Amino acid sequence: MKNIFFSRAGIIIVGAIIGVFAALLQYFGNPPNMGICVACFERDIVRALGLHRADVVQYLRPEIIGFVLGAFLMAAFAGEFRPRGGSSPLIRFFLGLFAMIGALVFLGCPWRALLRLAGGDGNALLGLLGLTTGIFVGILFLKKGFNLGRSYSQAAGSGWIMPDLMLGLPYISGFVCTGRSYILQR
């Protein structure tokens, strides 16, 4: 099946939709220059689950749930849902942990760095410069043969866990009972 999104026009349309949606989400009530921020929103989910006590927004951030489930549905529809894994999982866990630490020192993931710049925040330039520098160092490793190892096909059940977790998040925090997270209310 030919994928129109592999074309130049396709990827530009996707980027444009993300940009417009992010600005609109801010307009409809998301935090300023944070229409979408994967790092910040995961952090808010962590707060909603009570895993830290910082005085920040505690909210299940349906955008994150939508991201995973939207990707799951599209992949299933396109025949691209392929459960796979086993490529240095523990290293990836800690890469994720430290990536989050770096993002929360800056206050945003790469998406929010772009959105902060689009909102006029000059500090985002330093973040984007840092992001590029970090990726450049990563490329030096890639060129030298850096590799986390190949992944292998896994049983379908493994691949369902993350989408299931996203489906389960609202239940975990009692969202179905009250229409919103009861942990949301202090």
The residue with tokens 């929010």 is 112
6 binding other proteins? (CB under 8 A): yes
169 binding other proteins? (CB under 8 A): no
Of 13 and 177, CB closest to other proteins: 13
The residue with tokens 């523990």 is 90
- Cα angle, residue 126 at apex, residues 124 and 132 outer, rounded to 5°: 100
Residue list 62-121, contact with other proteins (CB under 8 A): 62-75, 78, 80-111, 113-121
Residue list 42-61, contact with other proteins (CB under 8 A): 42-43, 45-47, 51-54, 56-57, 59, 61
172 binding other proteins? (CB under 8 A): no
CB of 50 to other proteins, least distance (A): 10
Number of residues interacting with other proteins: please give it, by CB under 8 A.
136
CB of 150 to other proteins, least distance (A): 11
Give residue 128's Cα distance to chain centre. Answer: 17
Q: Are 70 and 137 in contact (CB under 8 A)?
A: no
Alpha-carbon torsion (70, 98, 56, 105), positive or negative: negative
177 binding other proteins? (CB under 8 A): no
Q: Binding marks (x or -) toward other proteins, 127..146, rule CB under 8 A?
A: xxxxxxxxxxxxx-xxxxxx
Which residues are CB-contacts of 173 (< 8 A; sequence separation ≥ 6)?
A: 48, 49, 60, 181, 182, 183, 184
The 3-state DSSP class for residue 181 equals: coil
Of 106 and 173, CB closest to other proteins: 106
20 binding other proteins? (CB under 8 A): yes
176 binding other proteins? (CB under 8 A): no
154 binding other proteins? (CB under 8 A): yes
CB of 148 to other proteins, least distance (A): 6
Rg (CA), the chain: 18
Of 56 and 177, CB closest to other proteins: 56
The residue with tokens 């979408």 is 36
Beta-bridge partners for 153: 84
